[in-house]
Amino acid sequence: MKIIKLNAIGSTNSFLKDLAHNSMLEDYTVAVTNQQTSGRGQMNNSWHSEPFKNLTFSIFTRFKNLHINQQPYLNFAVSNAIFEVLQSLSVPQLSIKWPNDIMSGNQKLCGILVETTFTNQKIKNSVIGIGLNVNQEKFPSHMTHASSLKNILKKEFDLDEIMHQLVEKIQLYVSKIESQDLESIHKSYLKHLYKKDIPTAFKDERTKLFFMGMIKGVDTNGNLLVQLEDDSIKEFQIKEVSLAKA
């Protein structure tokens, strides 16, 4: 593992992608910054983080034999890895909010953005971006559901120590993907799914209308499976639906 420490950068994901494009990066090169000014999340959302308080970093990893249709397992694996590290820290009420936010109760602790590069029908490499709220105590008023490890567990954490734990656990899960241990990765992800089997309000991102349903799972294509009020099961892709904000 090679670690590149940056004082400030727009996006660690963009930094590693550019670096990989222009040079031969070592597998598991990590870029970590004290201040990320243009952090990105799922569905083009921005990621806000107080400088020097949280973990904002990205991991470059390459693959030998991962087919393009197995891409969802990367999201499953990284989500599982982060879940298990936070579980080891005794974070209460942990869950994975589809597609890959990590929650404590109804409060968001961590966001993940996995970006991949393809060659023919195989995944050549990926950049795994992680934003974890660690020691930040106050959040902007619009971030009503954001929290941190310090707020929840009432103590300060060593950022480098947690980052190393996360990278090691992600390496372990990526090796499971490489060895095609896909079913157990998927099962573990489903086991910890946020709001599963609980009546929930959703927002249709195309029509902007709200509807009620129950999350029944996530299929191997990464689509959310929702049981509607007529008991039918409908699948949604990432940009098609979101959980309504309370």
Q: What is the pLDDT of residues 33-53, one digit of tens each?
A: 998 876 655 555 555 678 899
Q: What is the pLDDT of residue 181?
A: 93
Q: In the numeric block, which tokens belong to residue 172?
A: 């372990």
Model pLDDT for residues 134-155, shown as the tens digit of each residue: 999 999 888 889 999 999 999 9
pLDDT of res. 39: 60
pLDDT band for position 246 (50/70/90)?
low
Q: What pLDDT score does 64 carry?
A: 86
Q: What percent of the chain has pLDDT over 90?
A: 84
- Six-digit token string for 133: 């709220």
Least confident of 37-41, 106-110, 231-235: 37-41
What pLDDT is attached to residue 4?
Answer: 96
Interval 185-210 mean pLDDT? 97
The Cα–Cα gap between 168 and 166 comes to 5
**Size of the chain in residues:** 246
pTM of this structure:
0.93
The confidence score (pLDDT) of residue 1 equals 87
pLDDT score recorded for residue 15: 95
* Predicted pLDDT at 45: 57
**What per-residue confidence (pLDDT) applies to 245?**
78
Which pLDDT belongs to residue 193? 98
What's the rounded mean pLDDT across residues 121-128? 95
Check whether 62 has a pLDDT greater than 60: yes
In this prediction, residue 49 carries a pLDDT of 77
Is there a contact between 220 and 180 (Cβ–Cβ < 8 Å)? no
Is a pLDDT exceeding 90 seen at residue 103?
yes
Whether residue 69 has pLDDT greater than 80: yes
- Single-letter amino acid code for the residue at 210: F
Look at the domain 2-191 and name its fold: BirA Bifunctional Protein; domain 2 (3.30.930)
CA distances for 148 relative to 102, 142, 201, angstroms: 11, 16, 25
CATH of domain 199-243: 2.30.30.100
Give the largest CA-CA distance in the chain. 54
Domain residue ranges of the chain, discontinuous segments joined by +: 2-191, 199-243
Q: What is the pLDDT of residue 22?
A: 84
pLDDT at 114: 96
Mean per-residue pLDDT for 82-99?
98
Query: Rounded CA gap, 32 and 46, in Å?
Result: 17
C-alpha 90: how far from its chain's center?
Answer: 19
Mean pLDDT (the chain, rounded): 93
pLDDT score, position 143 = 86
Of 157, 71, 143, nearest to 107 (Cα)? 143
Distance of CA 55 to the CA centre of its chain: 13
The mean per-residue pLDDT over the stretch 157-166 comes to 98
Q: Is residue 107 classed exposed, middle or buried when 0-12, 13-18 and 19+ CB atoms within 10 A define those classes?
A: middle
For residues 13 and 117, the answer to whether their CB atoms sit within 8 Å is no
